Amino acid sequence: MKYDFKAIESKWQKIWEEKQTFRAENDYSKPKYYALVEFPYPSGQGLHVGHPRPYTALDIVSRKRRLEGYNVLYPMGWDAFGLPTENYAMKNHIHPEIVTAKNVAHFKEQIQSLGLSFDWSREINTTDPAYYKWTQWIFLQLFKHGLAYKSEMNVNWCTSCKVVLANEEVVNGVCERCGGEVVHKVKSQWMLKITEYAQRLIDDLDDVDYIERVKVSQKNWIGRSTGAEVNFKTTAGDTLTVYTTRPDTLFGATYMVISPEHPMIREKADLIKNMDEISAYQEAAAKKSDFERSEIAKDKTGVEIQGIRAINPVNEKEIPIFISDYVLMSYGTGAIMAVPAHDTRDYDFAKAFNLPIIEVVAGGDIEKEAFTDCATGVMVNSGMLNGLSVEEAKKKIIAWLEENGIGHPKVNFKLRDWVFSRQRYWGEPIPIVHCEKCGFVPVPEEELPLMLPELESFEPTDDGQSPLSKLDSFVNTTCPCCGGPAKRETDTMPQWAGSSWYFLRYCDPNNVSALAAKEALDYWLPVDWYNGGMEHTTLHLLYSRFWHKFLYDIGVVSCKEPYAKRTSHGMILGENGEKMSKSRGNVVNPDDVVNEYGADTMRLYEMFIGDFEKAAPWKDTSLRGCKRFLDRVWNLQDIVCEGDAYSPKIESSIHKTIKKVSEDIENLKFNTAIAAMMALLNDIQDAGSLTKADYRTLLILLNPFAPHITEELYELQGFDGMLNEQAWPSYDEAKCKAATVEIVLQVNGKIKAKVEVDANASKEEMAALAKENEKMQQAMEGKQIVKEIVVPGKLVNFVVR
Ligand code: ANZ
Ligand code: ZN
């Protein structure tokens, strides 16, 4: 009988669906396992061959866990709000809801063809009002707890999408999504106070099992730094406060720099003599992105403020104040003390403007460059600090600053509050009403969901107003507080909103009175294993940890962290090693692969393609190799024997493979797990036969990778029940040791023969075997053995003369 993958795959997919095989039970007495992959954005392009890589990986984990006796939740859904759908809808004059439904149907069919063990009864969609009701509810809780606020903000504005972007969405100075130019704009925006959670978002990383690169990049993004705030008096009679990580270098502060947006410029305008020059510089700076402005290598520009000087508090010296765009208003206090001898940017600036450079930490060569090392230097030219190390000097100066009321220790974070408004149609309406009398008033919870209204046209306005603002019947309402006339918020939420809590909804997806029942959350959480893209590390992963912590604080969930374990997969590239794209003509369509080779081959290949954590190029030859492997597994039926033809070699090979596959799955080494099963198959074919029991074991091991063919073979062999109801095999460590090993026999270091010996053979036994060997005898004819070298398990070498 031929391996008819088409018939087999559709047969088992139907059976699984009918039997609801992968339905997670809310049976709280069983040990649970919650496996999660990032739900896709159902784009018009359909599934990419990159999608199944993480889905299959955690499908393997889920299937293994079921065989290990766990009640497994492995859900899937749709992250369906967002710009691409809206843009498509606008271009083609179709409502985004219709576009979404069509895309979801297509994605679902494609995903289902792969035989993934998702519990489809828990499918969710972020654009479903029954779902976004709870997204809005969470927003209201944030608002009620002072964590959502509206403020005038200098925001990132994508000139092509006509939309505000979060800092996280600006990559290398351009729009993460479309690559369009990003400029600054002052706009009134809803913001979420993620900064309030900055410290906890760092600290609690200690309690979770995330791959190291994810932890590191989250920490860098949050960017905790410790230092001091120091007050400098100015000749204008006020004070300029700076943030510095190097208060030890105060004696070397030879000038100050404030950001072009610093309020002092406005407040002291009447004292500033070169206001025209300053204004021109401010205008030029406003056009640049923070990214451009903070580049280390860029030429330093600036203008000295004429008419006001600052006084260095440690030596009462008057120093000049500059404005320069390398100082950002959004970090620290927007003002710095410049220490050119020990800071690279200050050094470049001082050289450009011919400012004094005073060495205060000895150990470098400040004629050539700034000396920034703080581990080895010794303080000089610094009065009371002379002779101290940098660390000692920091402590001493901070104590002195505090005593004299000039400064205090300070911790700063790079993390900014989350810009939460979007001026687009296809998102969750922000459930807030603005009343002249009462200010911002939440929409009453019993009125949720606040439905996204029907609109004629979804075009955003050029001045950046949401399309919803054009709909008077939506905008005009009454104040829930005083009953007077009021206006609705017309901004919508960013795409990151729905995905910030979706893993909670899966626990209890149809609940109408809460985002999920408490018992369901307590049982399923935390997610035991979450796999997703590295690109989401500082976006979705951080946002969802923030929301989860907030929900923990208000008692909705009982654990501090949403995900116990986080891993990440590499991309699948085209055959040419480049990213797959239409323009490069190297796109592989998953439907074609499933059609031609079957889902099991596709799954197996995606796991065999390379190290799961690294990018890997697609190779059709290797895909065919995986198909051949399954053909051979199929053909083993011909050599299965009823009894137990005992072979110590196969027995040990089986135990080794069980161990290897079991461990490799846990360690993301799916490719080497498959290689181990391929090696086992070779051993079996060398042996020429295998027992039914050994076949059964191989089928169970292979089942998570290739679930359809293994179920079919299991049935054909007449075993009891279904394969997915069996137990994951265990192994005997002692039997994992190879029964025999191959050793080489040499004469004067040259290989003469290779023979199999008992793995535990002694040196004497090995030497005796070598002497009996025909080839060895020929090579040594007429000669004397002068030395015998024997390495157990490896080789015998005779030195002859
Ligand atoms: C004096 C000094 C001397 C500094 C020295 C560094 C080295 P992190 O680690 O990133 O927190 N700084 C402070 N606010 C700034 C702003 N708004 N824009 C640009 N630069 C700013 O860096 C903090 C350091 O970056 C601060 O310490 C300050 O320069 C600068 F040898 O103060 B330092
Ligand atoms: Zn009111």
Cα 373 to ligand 1 centroid, rounded to whole Å: 14
Ligand 1 atom 1: residue of nearest CA: 244
3-class state of residue 23 by DSSP = coil
Residue 477: strand pairing partners: 486
Range of lowest pLDDT (114-128, 335-349, 445-459, 633-647): 633-647
> In terms of domains, do 233 and 154 share one?
no
For residue 672, give Cα distances in angstroms to 599, 604, 661, 664, 745. Answer: 20, 12, 8, 7, 30
Residues 459-466: what's their mean pLDDT? Answer: 75
Ligand 1 atom 28: residue of nearest CA: 244
Position 691 in a domain: no
Cα 273 to ligand 1 centroid, rounded to whole Å: 28
Neighbouring residues of 316: CB distance < 8 A, sequence distance ≥ 6: none
Burial class (CB in 10 A: 0-12, 13-18, 19+), 506: buried
CA angle 468, 469, 471 (to 5 degrees): 70
Q: Pairing mode, if any, of strands 255-258 and 335-338?
A: antiparallel
Q: What percentage of the chain reaches a pLDDT higher than 70?
A: 99
Of 413, 433, 465, the residue at which a domain comes to its end is 413
Ligand 1 atom closest to residue 329's alpha carbon, by position in its atom list: 17
Position 159 in a domain: yes
CA angle 623, 625, 628 (to 5 degrees): 115
Position 368 in a domain: yes
Ligand 1 atom closest to residue 247's alpha carbon, by position in its atom list: 1
Residues 242-248: what's their mean pLDDT? Answer: 97
CB 731 within 8 A of CB 659: yes
Mutate to test the pocket of ligand 1, among 324, 331, 380 (most ligand atoms within 8 A of CB): 331
Cα 441 to ligand 2 centroid, rounded to whole Å: 7
Q: List binding-site positions for ATP.
A: 582
Please determine, for residue 83, whether its predicted confidence score (pLDDT) is greater than 90: no
The pair phi, psi for residue 33, each rounded to 5°, is -145, 125
Tokens 């807030």 locate to: 432
Which ligand number lies closest to the CA of residue 478?
2
Give the per-residue SS3 of 104-164.
HHHHHHHHHCCCCCCCHHHCEECCCHHHHHHHHHHHHHHHHCCCEEEEEEEEEEECCCCEE
For residue 384, which of 406, 401, 370, 367 has the smallest C-alpha distance?
401
Please determine, for residue 473, whether its predicted confidence score (pLDDT) is greater than 90: yes
Ligand 1 atom 31: residue of nearest CA: 342
Question: pLDDT band at residue 95, thresholds of 50, 70 and 90?
Answer: very high
CA dist 443 and 489 (Å) reads 10
> In terms of domains, do 303 and 383 share one?
yes
Of 391, 413, 435, the residue at which a domain comes to its end is 413
Ligand 1 atom 7: residue of nearest CA: 343
Which ligand number lies closest to the CA of residue 329?
1
**CATH number where 787 lies:** 3.10.20.590
Residues 28-54: what's their mean pLDDT? Answer: 95
> In terms of domains, do 146 and 187 share one?
yes
Which ligand number lies closest to the CA of residue 390?
1
Cα 299 to ligand 1 centroid, rounded to whole Å: 18
Mutate to test the pocket of ligand 1, among 231, 245, 251, 330 (most ligand atoms within 8 A of CB): 245
Which ligand number lies closest to the CA of residue 486?
2
CA 552, 558, 560, 561 dihedral sign is negative
Ligand 1 atom 19: residue of nearest CA: 327
Cα 426 to ligand 2 centroid, rounded to whole Å: 28
> In terms of domains, do 363 and 407 share one?
yes
Which ligand number lies closest to the CA of residue 347?
1
The predicted pLDDT at position 606 comes to: 98
Cα 244 to ligand 1 centroid, rounded to whole Å: 5
- Name residues contacting ligand 1 (CB within 6 A): 225, 243-246, 249, 327-328, 331-332, 334, 336-337, 339, 342-343, 412
Position 710 in a domain: no
> In terms of domains, do 268 and 336 share one?
yes
The predicted pLDDT at position 738 comes to: 66
Please determine, for residue 171, whether its predicted confidence score (pLDDT) is greater than 90: no
The predicted pLDDT at position 560 comes to: 98
Q: List binding-site positions.
A: 582
The total number of residues written for the chain in this structure? 801
> Which residues lie near ion ligand 2 (Cβ < 5 Å)?
435, 437-438, 479, 481-482
| C-alpha 776 chain-centroid distance | 59
The pTM of the full predicted model, rounded to 2 decimals, is 0.87
Ligand 1 atom closest to residue 331's alpha carbon, by position in its atom list: 17
Task: Work out the angle between the directed axes of helices 5-19 and 599-608 (0-180°, nearest 10).
Answer: 90
Please determine, for residue 355, whether its predicted confidence score (pLDDT) is greater than 80: yes
Position 111 in a domain: no
Residues 548-577: what's their mean pLDDT? Answer: 97
Residues 97-107: what's their mean pLDDT? Answer: 96
CB 523 within 8 A of CB 21: no
Mutate to test the pocket of ligand 1, among 222, 231, 246 (most ligand atoms within 8 A of CB): 246
Structure tokens at 740: 């025999």
Which ligand number lies closest to the CA of residue 222?
1
> In terms of domains, do 202 and 316 share one?
no
Residues 735-760: what's their mean pLDDT? Answer: 86
CB 741 within 8 A of CB 792: no
The predicted pLDDT at position 617 comes to: 96
What's the number of domains the chain is made of? 3
Of 545, 562, 579, the residue at which a domain comes to its end is 562
For residue 58, which of 124, 125, 120, 116 has the smallest C-alpha distance?
116
Position 613 in a domain: no
Question: 666 vs 460, which has greater pLDDT?
Answer: 666
Cα-atom radius of gyration of the chain, to the nearest Å? Answer: 34
> In terms of domains, do 258 and 372 share one?
yes
**CATH number where 343 lies:** 3.90.740.10
Position 496 in a domain: yes
Cα 293 to ligand 1 centroid, rounded to whole Å: 14
CA dist 649 and 689 (Å) reads 12
Question: pLDDT band at residue 681, thresholds of 50, 70 and 90?
Answer: very high
CB 82 within 8 A of CB 41: yes
The predicted pLDDT at position 490 comes to: 95
N-terminal to C-terminal alpha carbon distance within the chain = 61
Domain that holds residue 352: 224-413
In the DSSP assignment, the letter for residue 461 is P
Question: pLDDT band at residue 385, thresholds of 50, 70 and 90?
Answer: very high
For residue 711, give Cα distances in angstroms to 70, 632, 655. Answer: 20, 16, 22
Cα 139 to ligand 2 centroid, rounded to whole Å: 20
Ligand 1 atom 29: residue of nearest CA: 244
CB 769 within 8 A of CB 755: yes
Mutate to test the pocket of ligand 1, among 243, 249, 358, 373 (most ligand atoms within 8 A of CB): 243
> In terms of domains, do 234 and 364 share one?
yes
> In terms of domains, do 442 and 409 share one?
no
Ligand 1 atom 9: residue of nearest CA: 225
Q: What is the DSSP string of 288-318?
A: S-HHHHH-TTSPP--EEEEEEEEE-TTT--E
3-class state of residue 386 by DSSP = coil
Q: What is the pLDDT of residues 697-739, one digit of tens each?
A: 999 999 999 999 999 999 999 999 999 999 999 999 888 876 6
In the DSSP assignment, the letter for residue 30 is S
Please determine, for residue 87, whether its predicted confidence score (pLDDT) is greater than 80: yes
> In terms of domains, do 194 and 147 share one?
yes
Question: pLDDT band at residue 645, thresholds of 50, 70 and 90?
Answer: low
Residues 671-675: what's their mean pLDDT? Answer: 96
Q: What is the pLDDT of residues 120-164, one digit of tens each?
A: 999 999 999 999 999 999 999 999 999 999 998 778 888 888 777
Please determine, for residue 495, whether its predicted confidence score (pLDDT) is greater than 80: yes
Q: What is the pLDDT of residues 256-265, one digit of tens each?
A: 999 999 999 9
Cα 479 to ligand 2 centroid, rounded to whole Å: 5
Cα 477 to ligand 2 centroid, rounded to whole Å: 11
So what's the ipTM on this one? Answer: 0.95
CA dist 726 and 716 (Å) reads 16
Cα 288 to ligand 1 centroid, rounded to whole Å: 20
Residue 389: strand pairing partners: 378
Q: What is the DSSP string of 761-779?
A: --HHHHHHHHHH-HHHHHH
Position 381 in a domain: yes
Q: Pairing mode, if any, of strands 303-311 and 255-258?
A: unpaired
> In terms of domains, do 265 and 330 share one?
yes
> In terms of domains, do 168 and 284 share one?
no
